[in-house]
Structure 1
């Protein structure tokens, strides 16, 4: 019986444990592999909670979800049970290094430019020869597969059920039927990536004054802030923070005219569903590779400061105590940026 796969085609496993943005930034590579090797079997290993980001991607044959309590040894056993022709380490951390030792094979990885990154953070010396987006750095791991970036953005494929659930919920809440629905995501995993709450509220009120409806997104930790913004800007503003699955969040963003967020995973969700983004960058910079990728109608709002960058991922507090990188981004500047991407 035919398996539907060319027995001479590559059998590939890509490993990226987390997180939202990082997973979605692998999709240009997965798409390029599928285009170059139509008969390949492509599998991805990630944490269980991130499986929805790729489960409906037609370029992927299988997504393995790793349970939080699952031992790395069990994962290594899974890898050894299949004779993969290519093992792509798209994470490049101590955990994947340990996994590569437990499950030897045709592994390849990519450079994280750690020296250049550290020099820029700690010495403010730019040793980057050129800025390579993270989505393109992943291609280094697939050098043996003869693939190149195609110039298109990431892809976040949504199930019909997720889209239907979101449509029904927005209708029930009484939003989404006006001239424009704008999604905002005020939260971030690290405090220094967060724009001040009062700025979000000022922006939300400005949007409501123009007739735009607002949906506030985020995780469970963002619920108090999201509900405060929505209730203060109501009517016409609602919070869905902490209430949505990953694909449902993507479906809300897809229905929106634009997303406004910090340097977070939802920003990459937006590029993945084709929604324009206004992204607010503070402690992190373009050189790290995480600006919105290949999104023509998106823009980044940032301020040129000598203390930037102070971290590659953000931190619990500003090292200098002033947080100017975010505080100096005025709500009016963000509103103007939004008008530009929607023009």
Structure 2
């Protein structure tokens, strides 16, 4: 309009006093969300003014451990030490597999994606730990703001993953030189504790057995048939040199049955055809395949587990089951069974360290007798 007086837009916006000046809000509380009502408000109607469960968060800690699932599981002992060293701390865990983490023990679980990476870089932490050498994880540790950083970052000028603190040097070097990896005598859990500046004191995994789901396991052998021994028959498709032949599994199953144990076949979709074959040949129980939480609870029903180095192995250790671990291509010192179970290997020296194919044509796993595994079960799971 001709001759109209042009005023700044802010002139037309009514100035309303902020409600935050009149309504008490406690964003430092570990329950407070900011984008949604907190659980105490949703479940009990509490507000910050008179909240009986107000709990100010202590140090803010970011833990980056993306995958694989087994490595995420065996990182959980760190939760115990972090809680001990930093009482009241608020732990944020970034991962590719949120469902595997203990929901009650981690304050904030984020799935690794663009949205999570974006908001983490806008926040400030007291401690940030990255246990992965994947470049995206290293880049995130480089860019996140934290008073103290542990683990691996990214060198800006060449994009190479690099230790961010001296304590990370050992674990870093064993991952880039096979000679050092072969000579290493420290279990993985001890290595990651030392990487964070802690001494490992035998802290157990933190894990959820999903006993509250009410799963029906009537198909499992009853207690009268003897201790249930779970047989995790697969090993994934990356390092197939770990595989044990069908004939060996059949021999072990018959030996277990004769000794008074109740073998139960375990696995996922990849193991399904083999487990059906083993069931048909031996009559061993095979309940089928299940989603991850139900599979975890199935493993929890066992009195012992026979497995290769797989996700099932980590689940078994986390559930504190006697674990008979069949290993050939990995450094045996890497695995801590916490005094439960035994590690058994072939009767000839493996020459295929971290290899997916055997240099000699036939995997040395064929030189692991079923009788040797059976004896380890007998010693670890008494009748």
Corresponding residue for 1:161? 212
Q: Secondary structure at the match of 1:251?
A: helix
Kindly indicate whether the alpha-carbon contact (under 8 Å) linking 1:182 and 1:212 is maintained by their aligned counterparts in 2. Answer: yes
Q: Which runs of 5+ in 1 are unaligned?
A: none
Q: Which runs of 5+ in 2 are unaligned?
A: 1-24, 31-54, 152-167
Mapping of residues 184-263 of structure 1, within 5 Å: 184-189=231-236, 190-234=239-283, 236-240=284-288, 243-263=289-309
RMSD, matched Cα = 2.4
Separation in 2, partners of 1:78, 1:198: 53
Kindly indicate whether the alpha-carbon contact (under 8 Å) linking 2:352 and 2:358 is maintained by their aligned counterparts in 1. Answer: no
Kindly indicate whether the alpha-carbon contact (under 8 Å) linking 1:16 and 1:45 is maintained by their aligned counterparts in 2. Answer: yes
The total of aligned residue pairs comes to 312
Match of 1:302 among 310, 331, 345: 345
Shift in Å, 1:129: 6.6
Match of 1:26 among 58, 66, 75: 75
Structure with the higher helix share, 1 or 2: 1
Separation in 1, partners of 2:172, 2:200: 23
- Structure showing greater radius of gyration is 2
Separation in 1, partners of 2:145, 2:372: 51
1:323 aligns with 2:363: yes
Q: Secondary structure at the match of 1:283?
A: coil
Shift in Å, 1:75: 3.2
Shift in Å, 1:82: 2.8
Quickly say closer, same or farther: Cα 1:283–1:107, change in 2 above 3 A: same
TM-score by length of 2: 0.74
Separation in 2, partners of 1:246, 1:176: 23
Corresponding residue for 2:196? 142
Mapping of residues 1-343 of structure 1, within 5 Å: 1-2=25-26, 3-4=29-30, 5-7=55-57, 9-47=58-96, 50-56=97-103, 58-66=104-112, 70=113, 73-103=114-144, 105=146, 106-109=148-151, 110-111=168-169, 113=171, 115-116=173-174, 120=178, 125=179, 131-143=185-197, 147-162=198-213, 164-165=214-215, 168=216, 170-171=217-218, 173-177=219-223, 178-189=225-236, 190-234=239-283, 236-240=284-288, 243-287=289-333, 289=334, 291=335, 293-303=336-346, 305-311=348-354, 314-315=355-356, 317-324=357-364, 326-343=365-382
Separation in 2, partners of 1:175, 1:112: 46
1:199-241: per-residue Cα shift (whole Å, max 9, x none)? 111111222233422221112111111221122211x52142x
Quickly say closer, same or farther: Cα 1:126–1:35, change in 2 above 3 A: closer
Kindly indicate whether the alpha-carbon contact (under 8 Å) linking 1:310 and 1:319 is maintained by their aligned counterparts in 2. Answer: no
Kindly indicate whether the alpha-carbon contact (under 8 Å) linking 2:326 and 2:345 is maintained by their aligned counterparts in 1. Answer: yes
Bigger relative contact order, structure 1 or 2 (CA pairs below 8 A, ≥6 apart): 1
Separation in 2, partners of 1:306, 1:282: 8
Separation in 2, partners of 1:226, 1:214: 12
Separation in 2, partners of 1:80, 1:117: 27
Shift in Å, 1:307: 4.3
Separation in 1, partners of 2:249, 2:91: 41
Separation in 1, partners of 2:180, 2:200: 25
Corresponding residue for 2:165? none
Quickly say closer, same or farther: Cα 1:233–1:59, change in 2 above 3 A: same
Shift in Å, 1:246: 2.2
Moved more, 277-286 or 90-99: 90-99
Kindly indicate whether the alpha-carbon contact (under 8 Å) linking 2:65 and 2:131 is maintained by their aligned counterparts in 1. Answer: yes
